[in-house]
C-alpha cells in the first residue's frame, strides 16, 4: 500500500471506528454503503484531505460514491493533485 492510501486508511480507522469496533478496514472496504462512515460525518474526512494535501475537493465531487472506499478516495485525491500539477 502506498503512502497516500496508508494515510487515508489510518485516518478512517482513527476517526470513524468506535472503541471496541473490531471490524477490519482495508483499502476497498465499503465505507458509506458499509455503514462505517455516514454522509453526516464524512465532512471531517474531506477537510482532512484538503488540509493535508492542500487541495480543494469541489462539493460536487465529494459524493458518497466517491468516498465509499479508501481506494476511491485516494484516486480522487490523485486526480485532483494531478490536474493541479498539470495546470
Q: Site residues (CB under 8 A) for other proteins?
A: 16, 18-19, 34-35, 38, 40-41, 43-44, 47
Q: What is the length of the chain?
A: 87
Q: How far is the CB of 16 from other proteins (least distance, A)?
A: 8
| 18 C-beta neighbours (distance < 10 Å), count | 6
Q: How far is the CB of 39 from other proteins (least distance, A)?
A: 9
Q: How far is the CB of 76 from other proteins (least distance, A)?
A: 20
Give CA angle at 69 (3, 87), nearest 5°.
60
CA 5 to chain centre: 9
Residue 34 or 82: the one with the smaller Cβ distance to other proteins is 34
Amino acid at each position: 500500500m502506498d503512502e497516500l492510501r496508508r494515510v487515508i486508511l489510518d485516518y478512517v480507522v482513527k476517526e470513524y471506528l468506535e472503541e471496541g469496533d473490531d471490524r477490519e478496514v482495508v483499502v476497498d472496504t465499503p465505507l458509506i454503503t458499509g455503514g462505517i462512515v455516514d454522509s453526516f460525518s464524512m465532512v471531517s474526512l474531506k477537510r482532512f484531505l484538503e488540509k493535508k494535501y492542500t487541495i480543494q475537493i469541489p462539493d460536487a465531487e465529494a459524493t458518497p460514491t466517491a468516498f465509499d472506499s479508501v481506494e476511491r478516495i485516494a484516486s480522487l485525491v490523485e486526480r485532483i493533485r494531478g490536474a493541479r500539477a498539470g495546470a
